[in-house]
């Protein structure tokens, strides 16, 4: 795998020519491409809705007093419900109960969503505000394998637009030759053991995890 060149070890954080103003940015990059502005609208159009409804994966970005958070969410395609041109609803599936995204949303409703569709290089972006809803009937509507989510996240769209395919083309994200063998990286058990010490059985964790995931995925 070809590696990008890295900065020298002593470069530190004191970079020359640091950009610190909008005016400086505009001098470096020039004006925005007109189409990049006209594609942004304040509601979910019919075309944009099609992207959302077939996306099985979304990255959720939130912000709170402790800082920002970015969290992956996935389910079978169609798990994001567009209920009207300004509203999209997603289930909050079972996780590890850190609740980083939800803790942020309780205190700051701003949210960004980035939708990815396997094999499609364009992505769809939503910026808006969200609320956490624990309505039993609504949560039950998202039941899979007999398990309903504890809450759903209801997002009100303020801005929505598609992202051009350059980033995914450059990264070859969907190309088979770009796949990285999982065995070439540290396992989750190995990483946990490095953090917790020899008392943690990393090999046992890795062995048991597939069964644990099947039992707890929903």
Q: Is residue 49 part of a domain?
A: yes
Q: What confidence score (pLDDT) does residue 16 get? A: 81
Which helix or strand (DSSP H or E) is residue 104 part of? Answer: helix 100-107
Please tell me whether residue 133 adopts helix, strand or coil conformation. Answer: strand
Residue 68 β-bridge partners: 63
Q: Residue 1 pLDDT > 60, yes or no?
A: no
Residues 198 and 149 in one domain: no
Q: What confidence score (pLDDT) does residue 30 get? A: 94
Residues 73 and 135 in one domain: yes
Residues 196 and 164 in one domain: no
What DSSP state is assigned to residue 147? B
Please tell me whether residue 86 adopts helix, strand or coil conformation. Answer: coil
- Please say which residue of 147, 170, 193 terminates a domain: 170
pLDDT in tens, 56-106: 999 999 999 999 999 999 999 999 999 999 999 999 999 999 999 999 999
Distance of CA 26 to the CA centre of its chain: 28
Dist CA 10 CA 113 (whole Å): 37
Residues 50 and 142 in one domain: yes
Which helix or strand (DSSP H or E) is residue 82 part of? Answer: strand 81-84
CB 92 within 8 A of CB 152: yes
Residues 212 and 160 in one domain: no
Q: Is residue 101 part of a domain?
A: yes
CB 81 within 8 A of CB 154: no
Helices 188-196 & 202-216 angle (0-180, nearest 10): 120
CATH number at residue 97: 2.30.110.10
pLDDT in tens, 163-209: 999 999 999 999 999 999 999 999 999 999 999 998 999 999 999 99
Q: Global pTM?
A: 0.91
Q: What confidence score (pLDDT) does residue 187 get? A: 97
pLDDT in tens, 121-163: 999 999 999 999 999 999 999 999 999 999 999 999 999 999 9
pLDDT in tens, 8-25: 655 556 788 899 999 999
Residues 157 and 55 in one domain: yes
Residues 152 and 110 in one domain: yes
CB 48 within 8 A of CB 85: no
CA neighbor of 75 nearest in space, from 89, 62, 90, 88: 90
Owning domain of residue 134:
34-170
Distances (CA, A) of 159 to 32, 36, 187: 17, 13, 39
The domain tally of the chain equals 2
């Amino acid at each position: 795998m070809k590696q990008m060149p890295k900065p020298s070890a002593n470069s530190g954080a004191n970079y020359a020519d640091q950009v610190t103003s909008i005016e400086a940015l505009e001098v470096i990059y020039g004006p925005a491409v007109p189409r990049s502005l006209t594609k942004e609208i304040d509601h979910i159009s019919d075309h944009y809705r099609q992207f959302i409804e077939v996306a099985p994966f979304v990255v959720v970005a939130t912000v709170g007093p402790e800082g920002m958070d970015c969290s992956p969410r996935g389910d079978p395609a169609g798990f994001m419900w567009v209920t009207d041109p300004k509203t999209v609803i997603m289930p909050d599936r079972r996780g590890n109960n850190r609740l980083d995204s939800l803790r942020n949303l309780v205190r700051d409703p701003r949210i960004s969503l980035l939708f990815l569709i396997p094999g499609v290089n364009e992505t769809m972006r939503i910026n808006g505000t969200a609320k956490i809803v624990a309505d039993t009937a609504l949560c039950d509507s998202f039941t899979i394998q007999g398990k309903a989510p504890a809450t759903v996240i209801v997002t009100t769209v303020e801005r929505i637009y598609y992202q051009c395919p350059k980033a995914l083309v450059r990264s070859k994200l969907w190309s088979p030759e770009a796949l990285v063998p999982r065995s070439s990286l540290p396992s989750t058990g190995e990483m946990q053991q490095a953090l917790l010490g020899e008392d943690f059985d990393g090999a046992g964790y890795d062995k048991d995890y597939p069964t644990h995931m099947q039992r707890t995925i929903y």
